[in-house]
Amino acid sequence: MSGTELSDDQLLRYSRHILLNEIGVEGQQRIRAARMLVIGAGGLGSPAAFYLASAGVAAIVLVDGDAVDLTNLQRQILHTTERIGVSKALSGQHTLRAINPEVDVIPMARRVEAPDLDELVQQATIVLDCSDNFATRQAINRACVKYLKPLVSGAAIRFDGQIAVFDLRNSGSPCYACLFPPDPASDAGVDELCSTMGVFAPLTGIIGTMQAAEALKLASSVGESLQGQLLMLDALTMRWHSVRVSRDPGCPVCAKPSSA
């Protein structure tokens, strides 16, 4: 694996990963080569990006069109009180650079839509959906299906969290829309829902951290991903439930051959 040879400093920085038989030097080199697209620098994207940066991925493209608000700081741990009003993408870049200056953090301080999203997904090794609305989730899924990119999807509201991996590189894998079919009627108002319903702060940490874990496993080809399962957490009882997710042969997104 030339091109991602690890320096002496890197062998130290990543030594606790390298010590793991399952990861080792080769796995760490694969992590070093991975370009992660993190959409949303909020409650889920914060912990996810923290661990991707500390673990030494090549690049993190951090997409968020919002600015840091006082109400974000209860859970969005990339950001600080003094950065209220600053773009979340830039605030996140600031934090991630301090953790690991080797990681190329590319902030995109805007909401990305169709053509830009396609390009970003195409360039990514793995996509992490840390967004907070249904329309964005559907758009991300469409691009991941189109370019056969693994998608690590997380969600958290109130005390309920969920995580799933959709990896269309494997034939027979479902996509996000197989599980949650696009429904224009439910697209509206989800953002407002999140701000009125509340969310338990550490729940976003649990789910976002698991998204990083799944992304790093996929990047290093270690273990088994959550592909084909939806894992749900009730944080009130701290009980997990797992549901198998099948490909929907009538899915409007993945059943058709790639639609441009």
Binding site for Zn ion (CB under 5 A): 175, 177-178, 251, 253-254
**How open is the CA angle 73-74-77, to the nearest 5 degrees?**
60
Catalytic site includes residue 130: no
User: Smaller CB distance to Zn ion: residue 62 or 253?
Assistant: 253
Least Å distance, CB 166 to Zn ion, is 8
Which residue out of 144, 194, 251, 254 is catalytically annotated? 194
- Within 10 angstroms of residue 157's Cβ, the number of other Cβ atoms is 18
- Beta-carbon contacts of 72 under 8 Å, excluding residues fewer than 6 positions away, are 42, 79, 88
7 or 259: whose CB is closer to Zn ion? 259
Interior/surface letters 78-88, b for 16+ CB within 10 angstroms, e for the rest: bbeeebeebbb
- Taking the least distance from each CB to Zn ion, the nearer of 3 and 257 is 257
Assign 108 to helix, strand or coil: strand
User: CB of 34: closest distance to Zn ion in angstroms?
Assistant: 25
To Zn ion, the closest distance from the beta carbon of 149 in angstroms equals 14
Strand partners, 35: 59
How are beta strands 229-234 and 239-244 bridged, if at all? antiparallel
Output the CA–CA distances (angstroms, integers) from residue 256 to 140, 228, 249, 252, in the order listed: 17, 19, 9, 7
Min dist CB 246 to Zn ion, Å, is: 10
Q: Which of 197, 172, 179 is nearest to 137 (CA)?
A: 179
Residue closer to Zn ion, measured from CB, 23 or 177: 177
Give catalytic residue positions.
194
